[in-house]
Amino acid sequence: AVGAALDRAFADPAVQAVAITGGNGLFTGGADIREFGQPAAQRKPTLHELIARIDAAPKPVIAAINGISMGGGTEISLACQYRVAAAQARIGLPEVKIGIIPGAGGTQRLTRAAGGQYLALALEMIVSGEPQPATRLKEAGVVDRVIDGDFLAGVARFAREIAGRTHHPRLADRTIALEDADGFFARARADVNKRFPRLTARGRAVDAIEAAVRRPFAEGLQFEYDTFMALLETTESHALRHAFFAERTATHIADLPKSVAPRKIERVAVIGAGTMGCGIALAFLGAGFAVALIETSAEALQRGLATITGVLDGQVGKGRIDAATRDTTLARLTPSLSLPQIGNADLIIEAVFEELAVKRSVFEALDRFARPGAILATNTSTLDVDAIAAFTRRPADVLGLHFFSPAHVMRLLEVVRGKATAPEVLATAMGLAKKIGKTAVVSRVCDGFIGNRMLEQYLRQAMFLVDEGAAPEAIDAAIEEFGFAMGPFRMSDLAGNDVGWLIRKRRYAESPSIAYSRVADRICEAGRFGQKTGKGWYDYPKGERRGVHSPEAAAIIAAWRVECGAAPRAIAAREIVERLVYALVNEGARILEEGIAQRASDIDVIYLTGYGFPAFRGGPMFHADSVGLAGVVQAMNGFAALAHGDAGFWKPAPLLQQLASQGATFNRP
């Protein structure tokens, strides 16, 4: 449509200048990334053809950027002879976020538009993928004018001003004066490597910008295009695109018709003002809900209030919210010691101690006092949601809302669907998640749900690796090099080693057939609970947050190896990574088979948003797909044969075995 309109405008002698604009606060969102590599991307006119026509236009073309401009849209605007923007407009080239760089001149023209003086700004925009406000780009000379007030009238005024000019600037004609280009790019590369380790596209973006500075336009353009095409085929780019779609797909529930209307939720009650209750209350307060916070004792309630106020004060301190917002937020919070107070709540979330008897007393009370139609949710991590629902006479209104700590920060929310959960209760939860800025993934009921059930296998392997000779530092280093935000031992020290200890004690009693290394118990028996006690797998001298090697922990480990009769051997980083990650994959496959997760990509979303799995690897299931499932199975057979192998666990899940033998993948392309 743009192409045809340009034809008409160029042909009409009455037209002296042309402006391109968008609607609804959007200039353009950029390419449809589903089309990458597909025939649809070749539909005429292609982005490249359109840009070439604008670049060589017989009349000046003005990009009238009315709002958000992203990717290909920004590249079109840069090919225009002029750019004017609404005051609230934001302009970006977010391509690196999906593992590529702009491929239609974006790096070459933005760099030229910014010139030597503002080169750092152009570089930051391209390398971070974050949009910049039009006002800032006006200072840098990328935008010619910011228009306050009536936008289209302002555009028309600008068009009349420039229409009579004999010369219209073309960014392609500009050269960049940069003193000490060598120094500039060396610093840029060092910075990018530090901020975005292991992300190829970010570094390649610097190469493209350097080409813009050092080479003639046509050569730079070709370099950019070749780089773009090569990046399209990287695992990083496939993985990041997978992650992007996986999050959207996770909101679809196969047997939940769109016609199911969610219930209306305005007032929320949270039971329990501990770690999770406070975070959950903050998440809802931040999204504008009225929240009642219920505790059993005045001290616990006071402590909870102090936590919530502290977090909000911290946000004021960091400039994220202003003092007035903090005050109105706190004004929506009603602390209370009376459970019957929940009578007017539309949604009640329980976050009390993880004991079935306590949950029972709470849910029996909720059943008595909640209004009919209220949704009753539990934040339990390990208990049976169906059993909890059965404590009420309204199990259809009950579901699990499994938040992650800290609940006001972590994006992931597992929505746990019980046997009896009503469709509209599920629909309501999915809609709510979006309102409070969470990424929701549906799980059926099982011990640990999707995320923690898989994590248990990962942690079990981590402990076996210690028994077999790997130091916790070596295991953390290997998996962090793979790209995890934090290795299992640093993570346990942060979360508190006593938490896992409690869960294991329950497992020893309930499932004596599961094999566990006792090394973590020995660490706990020595009072090494992690950061909170100043010592865990690492030592934390003087309250430091980054642990250092602990001779005491090493001695405990050495003694345990003797006790359990393991003969320590040297273990390569590759084995460490494969055992940890394939443990996730095999358990993930079982979770899929059992129908606990709806689809492999849901599992990937959980690991990407809740467990620090490296985004550029697309999640555990996608990673297994990219390695090739036959290779995964082969490695697993090798692990089963190890002396200390836990062969039963490494027997590939039937689904994994079947897909591997068919040459298929978990995630359908």
**Catalytic residue list:** 75, 95
Of 605-644, binders to ligand NAD (CB under 6 A) are none
CB of 394 to ligand NAD, least distance (A): 19
Q: Pick the closer one to ligand NAD by CB: 119 or 342.
A: 342
Enumerate the β-bridge partners of residue 644. Answer: none
Altogether, the residues listed in the chain come to a count of 669
- CB of residue 251 vs ligand NAD: minimum separation in angstroms? 21
| CB nearer ligand NAD, residue 30 or residue 272 | 272
- Name the nearest CA neighbour of 486 among 459, 466, 510: 459
* Measured CA distances, 135 to 24, 147, 285, 477 (Å): 20, 10, 32, 43
Report strand pairing: 412-417 vs 398-403: antiparallel
For residues 138 to 157, the per-residue mask of contacts with ligand NAD, x marking binding by CB under 6 A and - elsewhere, is: --------------------
Q: What angle do CA 228, 231, 236 make, to 5 degrees?
A: 145
- H helices of 526-612, in order, are 551-564, 573-593, 600-610
Contact 101/85 with Cβ under 8 angstroms?
A: no
| Sequence-separated (6 or more) residues with CB below 8 Å from residue 119 | 111, 176, 178, 184, 209, 213
Residue whose CB is less far from ligand NAD, 206 or 351: 351
Give the three-class secondary structure for 564: helix
Q: Is 75 helix (H, G, I), strand (E, B) or coil?
A: helix
Q: How far is the CB of 351 from ligand NAD (least distance, A)?
A: 4
> Which of 38, 328, 405, 634: binder of ligand NAD (CB under 6 A)?
405
Whether 612 and 460 have beta carbons less than 8 Å apart is answered as no
256/358 with CB nearer ligand NAD:
358
Min dist CB 358 to ligand NAD, Å, is 5
List 132's β-bridge partners, or say none: 91
Q: Does 230 bind ligand NAD (CB under 6 A)?
A: no
Nearer to ligand NAD, 99 or 500 (CB): 500
Kindly tell me the number of DSSP H helices and DSSP E strands found in the chain. Answer: 29, 16
Closer residue to ligand NAD, CB minimum distance, 359 or 535: 359
Least CB distance from residue 499 to ligand NAD, whole Å?
Answer: 7
**DSSP state for residue 111 in the 8-state scheme:** H
Q: Which CB, 129 or 272, lies closer to ligand NAD?
A: 272
Query: Smallest distance, Å, CB 434 to ligand NAD?
Result: 20
Q: Using the rule CB under 6 A, is 481 a contact of ligand NAD? A: no
- Tell me how far apart the alpha carbons of residues 379 and 352 are, in angstroms, rounded to a whole number: 8
In terms of Cβ atoms closer than 10 Å to its own Cβ (0-12, 13-18, 19+), residue 235 is middle
Q: Which of residues 269-328 bind ligand NAD (CB under 6 A)?
A: 271-277, 294-296, 300
Q: Which CB sits closer to ligand NAD, 297 or 328?
A: 297
- Identify the CA nearest to 30 among candidates 66, 92, 73, 85: 73
User: Based on CB atoms, which residue is closest to ligand NAD, 120 or 358?
Assistant: 358
Structural contact between residues 95 and 55, judged by C-beta atoms closer than 8 angstroms: no
Q: How far is the CB of 294 from ligand NAD (least distance, A)?
A: 5
Contact 270, 366 (CB under 8 A): no
CB of 293 to ligand NAD, least distance (A): 9
- DSSP result, 445-470: S-TTHHHHHHHHHHHHHHHHHHHHT-
- Partners of 153 in the β-ladder: none
Q: Minimum distance between the CB of residue 476 and ligand NAD, rounded to whole angstroms? A: 20
Question: In the set 28, 237, 307, 379, which binds ligand NAD (CB under 6 A)?
Answer: 379
Q: Tell how far CA 508 is from the center of its chain.
A: 34
Q: Quick one: tokens of 450?
A: 């999707």
Residue with the closest Cβ to ligand NAD? 274
**x/- string (CB under 6 A) for ligand NAD, residues 350-369?**
-xxxx---x---x-------
User: Which residues on adjacent β-strands are paired with residue 441?
Assistant: 414
- Per rule CB under 6 A, count of chain residues that contact ligand NAD: 23
Of 198, 202, 195, nearest to 97 by C-alpha is 202
CB of 274 to ligand NAD, least distance (A): 2
Query: Minimum distance from CB of 329 to ligand NAD (Å)?
Result: 20
d(CA 197, CA 325): 37
How does DSSP assign 161-180, residue by residue? HHHT-S----GGG-----TT
d(CA 415, CA 419): 13
Question: In angstroms, rounded to a whole number, what is the distance separating the alpha carbons of residues 534 and 635?
Answer: 38
Q: How far is the CB of 484 from ligand NAD (least distance, A)?
A: 18
Which range touches ligand NAD (CB under 6 A), out of 49-57, 402-410, 544-552, 618-626? 402-410
- Contact assessment for residue 311 and residue 282, using Cβ atoms and an 8 Å cutoff: yes
Q: Which is nearer to ligand NAD, 275 or 637 (CB)?
A: 275
Q: How far apart are the first and last CA of the chain?
A: 31
Site string for ligand NAD, 191-210 (x = CB under 6 A): --------------------
Tell me if residue 484 falls in helix, strand or coil: coil
State how far the Cα of 29 lies from the Cα of 77, in Å rounded to an integer: 12
Among 381, 392, 497, 667, binds ligand NAD (CB under 6 A): 381
The pattern of x and - marking residues 73 through 112 that bind ligand NAD according to CB under 6 A reads ----------------------------------------
> What values do phi and psi take at 481, rounded to 5?
-65, -35
Q: Does 380 engage in binding with ligand NAD (CB under 6 A)?
A: yes
Determine the interface stretch with ligand NAD among 347-355, 384-392, 411-419, 481-489 (rule: CB under 6 A).
347-355
| Distances in whole angstroms, Cα of residue 203 to Cα of each of 159, 193, 195, 198, 502 | 39, 7, 11, 9, 45
The binding site for ligand NAD (CB under 6 A) comprises 271-277, 294-296, 300, 351-354, 358, 362, 379-381, 403-405
